[in-house]
Amino acid sequence: MRVQRIVVVALPDRDDERGGVIRTMRMNTSLVERPTSGATANALAGQLREVRAHTRCLTDDLSAEQLMGPMLPIVNPVLWEIGHVGWFHEFWTLRHLHSEAPLLDRADRLWNSSTVAHDTRWDLQLPDRAGVFAYMTDVLGRQVDRLGRGIDGAQQYFYELCIRHEDMHVEALAYTRQTLGYARPGGLADAAEKNAGSWPGDVEVPGGRWCLGSTGVDGFVFDNEKWAHEIELAPFRIAKAPVTNAEFAAFVEADGYRTEEFWSAEGWRWRERARAERPVYWLAKDGGWHRRHFHEIEPLTPNAPVAFVNWHEADAWCRWANRRLPSEAEWEVAALGEANGGRLAKVKRRWPWGEASPGAERANLDLIIDQPVDVAACAAGDSAFGCRQMIGNIWEWTASDFVPFPGFAADPYEDYSQPWFNSRKVLRGGSWASSERIANPRYRNFFTPERNDVIAGFRTCAVQSPLWPDAAAHPIALSVKMGGAGR
């Protein structure tokens, strides 16, 4: 854990128009703790190249018209977005750390997202495609050269921050292509385990004390993860896998979207305002459910997790199915905890499966394929309690509001989390488009509850009910058993 005193300068923050993406705001002057991963300079150079390859994979094939796209409140012009990524790297490493002069005199006026209003980004006199990519390549080359000369721990923090910033934009670019109906990204595989099947049932998780959050030895962390603090949890039962398309289709077919009693007041207002009748990319065709997957219409894969549903839709499904969303604490325990004599052990795993890094057999991450796999896939990634796919495939909504942990203090980028407390919901786990760096099990993602453009679904916890004491007798179970959904 490294501590450094800082001065007031601009630093990144969440972009309100692009939840999950960093913009630039003011840095506070307090004494802050900035843990890093401890990666070597060579490893950081490799990470820079890796994340840039993902950015290029998602943008190289787009036409000039697609690079601009339509003006929508939930997307940026892709050409502007990738230029902003390059600018962020240059600003915080080459200029802030190494005191280099700007490569483009007008770069701040083009790509500083705190001063360039969202709706004006389509009207800027941006460099053309070749110019933007050349700028990004120049910045990357200079960063690698600087790393080759060696850096200290305080400098490492900003390189790691910039890498994670580009990670966030990579995922945003992936779901922007989905939002705009662009072609599937080239170079990604199809879902190899489409037919892995379902993974039904719950697991029992004992109660006990748990340290929620991150510590200084967990590597790079964002301020909203600080610091680990002890809580008491009651025993609970949680699903072994996320809710599938087939299970969600049963809710749609039961007129769940038209039944107000299944929705919170806020959720019902959203449903009426959006005129939602089903998940945003679903459509009925040839007597069954299909979906738009990028620019193609495909049959809905019944045993893949439902995705592109918002918090209100997840909550409504739970009310209909007599289930509930887990709290983020329950989610973290189910992912990282172990049992000891009927109580939670003091052990907290690094990953659900243990200490080894993620691989394809454990998690669907890092843009290897272009969609979620079936919920029974990635068996080697099971947690100690038997929960599958806690990492990757889809982000998972939790019941928890995004609030500060006790003793919260802002990191240098003091507006990264603080302005959004109590107005967002927490998601955990990462998606198929997330990097391993972002999809670590302690990372707290957060979005407003109406956002259905992100790669998010949900898993659920059991609710004791005198109406349906036998879970197998609940209408959702009967519907799926009889093949009533996903046909």
Q: Does 284 share its domain with 330?
A: yes
- Contact residues for 170 (Cβ-Cβ < 8 A; gap 6+): 51, 54, 55, 58, 367, 433, 435
For residue 429, how many C-alpha atoms fall within 13 Å in the half-sphere facing its CB?
37
Confirm whether 188 is domain-assigned.
Answer: no
Mean pLDDT by 10 residues, the chain (487 residues): 31 44 47 81 98 98 97 96 97 94 97 92 97 98 97 91 95 98 91 81 98 94 94 98 98 98 98 98 96 97 97 98 98 98 96 96 96 96 98 98 94 81 97 97 97 98 60 42 34
422 and 402 Cβ atoms separated by less than 8 Å:
yes
CA 171 to the chain's CA centroid: 8
Confirm whether 186 is domain-assigned.
Answer: no
Confirm whether 432 is domain-assigned.
Answer: yes
φ/ψ of residue 191, rounded to 5: -70, 105
The encoded tokens of residue 244 equal 């599938």
Q: In Å, how far are 50, 95, 104, 199, 342 from 158, measured between CA atoms?
A: 17, 11, 21, 41, 43
Q: Does 174 share its domain with 240?
A: no
The helix (H) or strand (E) run that includes residue 233 is strand 229-233
Give the separation between CA 429 and CA 390, rounded to whole angstroms. 6
Q: Does 426 share its domain with 331?
A: yes
Q: Does 163 share its domain with 211?
A: no
CATH number for the domain that contains residue 474: 3.90.1580.10
Burial of 7 (0-12, 13-18, 19+ CB in 10 A): exposed
Q: What is the pLDDT of residue 20?
A: 44
Q: Does 143 share its domain with 240?
A: no
Phi-psi region for residue 466, left (φ > 0), alpha (ψ -120 to 50) or beta?
A: alpha
Confirm whether 193 is domain-assigned.
Answer: no
The encoded tokens of residue 89 equal 């790297």
Q: Does 248 share its domain with 306?
A: yes
Give the separation between CA 214 and CA 218, rounded to whole angstroms. 6
Give the separation between CA 182 and CA 176, rounded to whole angstroms. 8
Q: Does 213 share its domain with 306?
A: yes
Q: Does 231 share its domain with 364?
A: yes
- Boundaries of domain holding 90: 3-179
Confirm whether 187 is domain-assigned.
Answer: no
The encoded tokens of residue 445 equal 């993602």
Confirm whether 122 is domain-assigned.
Answer: yes
φ/ψ of residue 5, rounded to 5: -85, 140
β-partners of residue 238 are 203, 461
Which of residues 179, 194, 215 is at a domain's end? 179
Domain total in the chain: 2
Which of residues 147, 179, 211 is at a domain's end? 179
Long-range (24+ apart) CB contacts under 8 A made by 155-159 are 155/93, 155/97, 156/36, 156/39, 156/44, 157/2, 157/34, 157/36, 157/220, 158/92, 158/93, 158/96, 158/97, 159/44, 159/48, 159/93
Confirm whether 59 is domain-assigned.
Answer: yes
Give the separation between CA 468 and CA 381, rounded to whole angstroms. 31
341 and 412 Cβ atoms separated by less than 8 Å:
no
458 and 245 Cβ atoms separated by less than 8 Å:
no
Q: Does 212 share its domain with 159?
A: no
CATH number for the domain that contains residue 32: 1.20.120.450
3-state DSSP assignment of residue 171: helix
| SS3 per-residue string spanning 240-284 | CCCCEHHHHHHHHHCCHHHCHHHCCHHHHHHHHHHCCCCCCCEEE
Q: What is the pLDDT of residue 10?
A: 35
CA 299 to the chain's CA centroid: 25
Q: Does 219 share its domain with 174?
A: no
Q: Does 133 share its domain with 229?
A: no
CA terminus-to-terminus distance, the chain: 53
Using the 8-state DSSP alphabet, how is residue 392 labeled?
B
Q: Does 223 share its domain with 174?
A: no
Which of 41, 57, 281, 258 lies closest to 151 in space, CA to CA?
A: 41
Q: What is the pLDDT of residue 474?
A: 45
